[in-house]
Structures are given as C-alpha cells and as structure tokens.
Structure 1
Amino acid sequence: MGSSSGSKSSNGDVKLLCFEIGYFNTTTQFIICSIGVFIFFILYGYFQELIFTLQDFKPYGWYLTFVQFIFYSIFGLIETQIRNDRHRKIPLKTYALLALLTVGTMGFSNASLGHLNYPTQVIFKCCKLIPVLVGSVLIQGKKYAPLDYFAAMMMCVGLIWFILADSKLSPIFDMIGLFQISSALFCDAAIGNVQEKAMKAHHASNAEIVLYSYFIGVFYILLYLLGSGDFLPAFNVCLEHKLETYGYGFIFSLTGYIGIQIVLQLVRTG
C-alpha cells in the first residue's frame, strides 16, 4: 500500500475475495471496501431478522450459528482452492482462540434475538466501537488521544439515536438477552485485535483466517448443541421450515462471509 492516499498501491496483490483491487489508489480501495461493508452487512442483518420471525426457531440461535459456520467453512475452502492458498501460516493454537472468540461473538449475537427484538440488539451493536478500542489498547498496546475516545462515544450515541428515531418498535430489554449481547460485545473487543495481530505477524490471507477460524468453531458449537440437547429439536424445526432456515441461512451466511472478507481487507490495509 502506498503511503499517500492518492497514490497507487505498492502492493500488486491486494484482493477483495478473488478480485484484484491493488491497481486502485488507497482512497479508492477504502471507498470500495466501506461501501461493501454497508451493503453486505445490511443484507446480513435483514436476513438474520427474517429468520427469527419464525417463532418455532427463536430458541435455537446457536443452531443457526452452527449452520452459518458450516457455510463459512465451505466458502473459505472454495476460496482457498481458487486462490491456491493451501499452506496454513498462523499456528493452530491461535486459530483455536480465534474460533472460540468467533463462536462467542456470533453465537451470543444470534442467540440474543430469541430474547431481544432487533432494534434492541442493534442499539447494543452500535456500542461495539468502544470495547474494540479498549481491546486494541490492552491486546495490541495501541494509544489513542482523548479526542478519539470522545469521537467514538459520540458516534455510538448518534447511531443509537438514529436507530431509535427510525424504529417503529420499542426496545425490549430481557436480562438473558442483555447478557448474551453483552457477551458478544466482549468477544468483539478481542477478536478483531487478535485477528489484526495474527495477520500482521504471519501474513496470512483473509481466506485462510476465515476457513480455519470457522471450521474449528463448527466443532465447538456442535459440542455445545449436543451437550445442551438442542441439536435434535433445532434440526427437526429446520426440516419443517427448510426455506426459512436453510434457504435464508445460506443467503445470510453468504452476505456475512463477504462482509467479513471486506472487513479483514480493511484491517489489512489500515
């Protein structure tokens, strides 16, 4: 990447998914990635909420996460094969931690929708920037000026105000749901910083990080579902409503996967 935002990238192999964007200058790369994040995570949130309009499925947010992780693993495997990126660079113990954090942030987030309505969940997600900033200080030793913290806080307040002003539904505060979404935010505070640190230390590709993090996470979630006894009931509900669960789940996972890849590219070039 060039040091100037108006210059061409010095790295000839800057890819977004399988598309080369290195010939754009850094400002254009940032704009492309930023627009992509908005588009794909809006679609991600829409299909996530749509799946949980199925009342029978509300208690089974962890099963949705299980399905999501399987799709992400398949997408990651396909991408690594296309890019001929078959040699793991990051140690497995780091991926074991990343997988655990990923399971936490996505599993608790999905599960919280069984107890909170969507506006409430989004309000809490709007506060994600603050724990991520704190996590970057503790994990990576970064330093920020007081103005940076103030700007982050004002951004969170502005987003919450915008959501509340635009929403036709009042927030619903359920203690179990609040615990789950707070746990998701706690994992969020760590995961991005651990990813960034590992990417910079080992120069691993986005596809590798997604593949190993989510593939290992599949087994974590499977153990939880079998231990809690939720696997068979959730599986039976999904069989009765294939389109609303597996069908929408595929689109939900695909948009989320693309969104994550774009975020990782922003982290890599930031």
Structure 2
Amino acid sequence: MDLKFNNSRKYISITVPSTTQTMSPHIKSIDDIMVLGINLSRFNKLTQFLICVAGVFIFYLIYGYLQELIFSVEGFKSYGWYLTLVQFGFYSIFGLIELQLIKDKRRRIPGKTYMIIAFLTVGTMGLSNTSLGYLNYPTQVIFKCCKLIPVMLGGIFIQGKRYNIVDVSAAVCMSLGLIWFTLADSTIAPNFNLTGVILISLALCADAVIGNVQEKAMKLHNASNSEMVLYSYSIGFVYILLGLTCTSGLRPAVTFCSKNPVRTYSYAFLFSLTGYFGISFVLALIKMFGALLAVTVTTGRKAMTIVLSFIFFAKPFSFQGGFFIPLLSPLLG
C-alpha cells in the first residue's frame, strides 16, 4: 500500500495493490522450498518432482513395513490411538528441531487453521492406525488407495478445482479394483471386520479435506514444512491426549508398552522418524504440485507396500487378490 501526502491540501492518497501483488509484507517468495535441509528451488520442476517421489517411496515403504511390524506384536492391536499419540509426539519434536535450523521461525499460518488441520490429521492417522486392529494390512492399504476419490471431491468443493475425464476415469478404475480385492479378502481373511471398514472410511473422509486445506494454507501463507508439521501435530497431540484421558485409554496402553519398552517404543520411534521424513516430501509435493498429484504419488507407493506386505508377512492369498496387485500398479503409475 502506497501513502502519498500533499502538505498544501492536506490529504492522503492510498494506492491498493492489485490481486497479483502480495498483501502480506512478511511473506517471502515461494521460490525457497526446503525439505530436510535440501533446497529444492535450485532444481527444475522435473528434478524437484523426482526427488520428492523418491523420498516418498523410500521412507513410506519403510514406514509401512514398521507399521505392520508394530501391530504384529501380540496384544498391541487395541492400542492404535496410543501409537498415534506417540507418533504425534515424535513428529512435534522432529518439527521443532528442524524449525530451529531455518532462519525464519515465525508462524505464518493462523492458529485457527492449524486447529482444523490438526483435527483432520488426528482423524486420518488415528483412525487409520486403529483400523489395523480390525483389518489386515493389505485390505487397509487398498482402502487408502481409494483416497484419490475423496481428495478430488475435496478439491472441487474447497478449492473450486475441475478435473478432466482422464482423472475421473482413473478414480473409477481404482474404485472397481477396491471392490474386487475387498470381496476376495472378505472370504479368505479372518480379520476382515465391518468396524475396521467404518474406521478406514472415516479416515478417508478426513483425507478428502486435509490435503486441500494444507495446499491452500501453504500456498496462501508460504509456510515451511517444519512449521506445518510442528503446529499441526503438536495441537493434534493435545487432542489425542485429552481423548485418551477422558476415555481411560491411556493407562492400559502405557502399562502394556512398559512391559516391553525397548521393542514397542523403538519400533514407534523408527516408525515416526520414517513417517516424518515421508510427510516432509509429501508436503513439498502439495506445495509445489497440488494435493491431487501428491495423493496420486502416495497411492502408487501404497501399491508397492501391498506387494512388500505379502512378501514379509504371511497372509491368505487368493487368485482374485493376486491378479489385483499387478493390475493396480500401472493404473496408479
């Protein structure tokens, strides 16, 4: 805003900047995009995309393996919310450490927006972790592969986006694949459960909103990944802690984990560390390329996770499910 003073007539001329100009003087250029100390702004768009995709695949493949490994611990399946609490605690610590390493430590996104993002994050991650107590891992991942559909709907209603026939067709094909695999799993897997389906479906509803809200907030305020992680997950930590305290779910979980702290908490630490690295690359994808492309990449990673899950963990396997895995991969690529 430009102010011009005229002493003779004593008036002030105010010039309002156009919509293409920035309205917040503290917001710097979007050019500097840092991910785990890597300045992606030095690379072209294709290289940025490939680096982010590599980061997502590497860290989230390890993340998925560790998630299933934790729930393979006998007696742990009923403590999914406690695992999410520990995960959010580690994420908050990691985000605080990374934020100290950058020059600009100011919070740019309003607190009210972070409260909404934190609530959605708790929903998508907490319900997803808890659903593993009722579903086997490949079935849960297949449901999460359908995330593209709610994200597209969220993009339409939240950001006013429009998608072409190719995007819609891909989403429909994924839905058909989901139905095919789920019908096979319901007949051969003993832990296919309606409660698990409801939990993972609610997690998908949260996913429909969170990616688009994050994209809109990060682009509007040009917030860093470490800021987004620190505030959203620390507020989410408080939400889950209050919830577990009110429902008396905290004490049993702490008691169980204290019986074998090395195994449970070491798994949780590695699980959280790889998840933090992965979410940093996902947030970079959202900021640079949008929520839809970011979800498409993470969905492709989930298809790879299913294959590894069958390799490392013994599961029922059917002709129908076996054909679904190779058919899904090219669709998601």
Structure 1 and Structure 2 fold alike (TM over 0.5): yes
Alpha-carbon offset, residue 197 of structure 1: 0.6
Q: In 2, distance between residues paired with 1:108 and 1:181?
A: 6
1:173 to 187, 192, 195: 192
Aligned to 1:209: 228
Q: In 1, distance between residues paired with 2:170 and 2:195?
A: 30
**1:165-214: per-residue Cα shift (whole Å, max 9, x none)?**
9xxx7474211111111111000110000000111111111110110000
Alpha-carbon offset, residue 120 of structure 1: 1.2
8 Å CA contact 2:33, 2:224 repeated in 1: no
Aligned to 1:267: 286
1:223 to 239, 242, 250: 242
Alpha-carbon offset, residue 225 of structure 1: 0.5
Map residues 1-270 of structure 1 onto 2, 5 A cutoff: 13-155=32-174, 157=176, 170=189, 172-270=191-289
Q: In 2, distance between residues paired with 1:262 and 1:160?
A: 30
Where 1:56 maps in the other structure, the secondary structure is: coil
Bigger CA radius of gyration: 2
Q: In 1, distance between residues paired with 2:139 and 2:189?
A: 8
Alpha-carbon offset, residue 162 of structure 1: 8.8
Alpha-carbon offset, residue 244 of structure 1: 2.6
Q: In 1, distance between residues paired with 2:267 and 2:74?
A: 15
Q: In 2, distance between residues paired with 1:57 and 1:150?
A: 39
Alpha carbons of 1:180 and 1:227: their partners in 2 closer, same or farther (altered >3 Å)? same
8 Å CA contact 1:60, 1:234 repeated in 2: yes
* Bigger mean CA offset, 260-269 vs 66-75: 260-269
Give the residue type in structure 2 aligned to 1:120. T
Q: In 1, distance between residues paired with 2:220 and 2:139?
A: 37
TM-score in terms of structure 1 length: 0.90
8 Å CA contact 2:114, 2:231 repeated in 1: yes
8 Å CA contact 1:115, 1:176 repeated in 2: yes
Alpha-carbon offset, residue 24 of structure 1: 1.7
Q: CA RMSD in A?
A: 2.1
Alpha-carbon offset, residue 156 of structure 1: 5.5
Alpha-carbon offset, residue 164 of structure 1: 10
Give the residue type in structure 1 aligned to 2:60. F
Identity across matched positions, percent = 59
Q: In 1, distance between residues paired with 2:260 and 2:232?
A: 29
8 Å CA contact 1:129, 1:156 repeated in 2: no
Q: Tell me the number of residue pairs that the alignment of Structure 1 and Structure 2 aligns.
A: 258
Give the residue type in structure 2 aligned to 1:78. I
Q: In 2, distance between residues paired with 1:180 and 1:135?
A: 19
Point out 4+ residue stretches in structure 1 off by more than 3 angstroms.
155-165, 169-172
Q: In 2, distance between residues paired with 1:178 and 1:97?
A: 24
8 Å CA contact 1:120, 1:172 repeated in 2: no
Q: In 2, distance between residues paired with 1:238 and 1:138?
A: 42
8 Å CA contact 1:119, 1:164 repeated in 2: no
TM-score in terms of structure 2 length: 0.73
Q: In 2, distance between residues paired with 1:59 and 1:65?
A: 12
8 Å CA contact 1:73, 1:211 repeated in 2: yes
